[in-house]
Amino acid sequence: MTLFTFTLLGCSESDPRSAAEPQPAAHDDAIEEVETQPVTELDQVHISEQLLDTYRTTCGNCHERGVVGAPKTGDVAAWAPRMARGMDTLVVHVREGYKTMPPAGLCYSCSDEDFAELIGYMATPK
């Protein structure tokens, strides 16, 4: 799943928006909400070229072909029951290893955020 990056466009003592207008959630709150909710719908996820290279040298070795039960990249139906468990659970499975998947999916330099982005990428149609 793609993590969202919020950019602060300007700071001042006065805010031109009215107080009644809904304000965007703080970055940490948005991340927490995404991680604790089952993932049910994803548009196509785009990841950085660096993370795509990581996918090709680690995750893709099994997920491109569905080796030993790994859900294939882009197979939304195969990913749906996994995504329903929520991103937190999936990231823990990657970090610790799950069934035949080795710990960290062999990406020992990946952060939990990287794992979440890679999972989102694999779970969406290509």
Give the three-state DSSP class for 70.
coil
Distance in angstroms (rounded) separating the CA atoms of residues 76 and 106: 23
Q: Indicate the SS3 state at residue 59.
A: coil
Q: What is the pLDDT of residue 56?
A: 97
The lowest-confidence range among 31-40, 52-61, 89-98 is 31-40
Instruction: Read off the pLDDT of each residue in 93-98 and give the average, rounded to a whole number.
Output: 98
3-class secondary structure, 65: coil
Between 69 and 7, the higher pLDDT residue: 69
Helix (H, G, I), strand (E, B) or coil at 12: coil
pTM of the model: 0.66
Q: Report the distance separating Cα 105 and Cα 112, nearest Å.
A: 12
The pLDDT tens digits of the residues spanning 3-28 come to 333 322 333 334 434 444 444 444 44
Residue 46: pLDDT band by 50, 70, 90 thresholds? confident
Domains, in order of start, for the chain: 43-122 (1.10.760.10)
Taking the C-alpha atoms of residue 71 and residue 101, their distance in angstroms, rounded to an integer, is 11
Q: Which residues lie across from 101 on neighbouring strands?
A: 98
Closest CA to 33 of 73, 1, 79: 1
Q: Which residues 6+ apart lie within 8 Å of 45 measured at CB?
A: 1, 2, 117, 120, 121, 123, 124
